[in-house]
Amino acid sequence: MAALFENDELLALDKPPGVSLATSSRADKSGSAAVERLLLSCKEVARPGMLLVHRLDLPTTGVVLLAKSDAAHRILSRAFQSGGARKTYRALAWGHPVPAAGSWTDPLGRDPRDGRKTKARADGKRALTRYRTLRRMPSPAIVDLELSPETGRTHQIRAHAATHGHPLVGDDLYGGATRWRGVRDRRLRQALAEVDRPLLHAARIEIPELSLDVAAPLPRDFQELLDVLGATRPKTRS
């Protein structure tokens, strides 16, 4: 079910992959056009006046909030800008982070060699991503991560994970799309080869001040790969 929550102020939707929420001055890239694309992809009827509160990357799935009025948009936007909105993501990444839980604090900025990418740079903007290992698959070495970005840099989770040697499974931009070629098990190799996007999911948004707590279930491709891989609980490491 694409509609996750609704009240008089907002609508929360479960965004599928492949829907662009990017906006610009072009008519087909306006905020209203992005809302229309999202509603259509979620099989919701057109709703004039709905406003996009925040964005997810094209391949990312999960919770997106739409405001029903200018006043609601201001309140929700303020929560995101002030840190009052707690965002929790799930991701499958290559390797096993050590320690199993921690923070990535590398400043991030545009990659001068590839303008599509973000990279760690000494002169970049402050960025903080907290992560926690939920499950660890030993062979191939893949980890199921819970991540909480406390800043909002472009591709923040993807760039931080890749910087620390753990690109997301399926992420062709940050080096995680072809590692499956070294997997020996034929069934696992085939399952990993079929992943066609970075496996990153906006699982939950909490805004305690507004008594708002919305969660989205894992999408099918993410859950099916978890089922194929199997999982083992990580040993505690410091």
Catalytic residues, by residue number, are 57
Structural contact between residues 157 and 147, judged by C-beta atoms closer than 8 angstroms: yes
- What is the distance between the terminal CA atoms of the chain, rounded to a whole angstrom? 40
Which two structure tokens, joined as six digits, stand for 189?
């190799």
* Exposure b/e, 96-120, CB count within 10 A at least 16 = b: bbeebbeebebbbbebeeeeebbbb
Find out whether 10 and 47 touch, Cβ atoms under 8 Å.
no
Residue whose token pair is 């089922």? 227
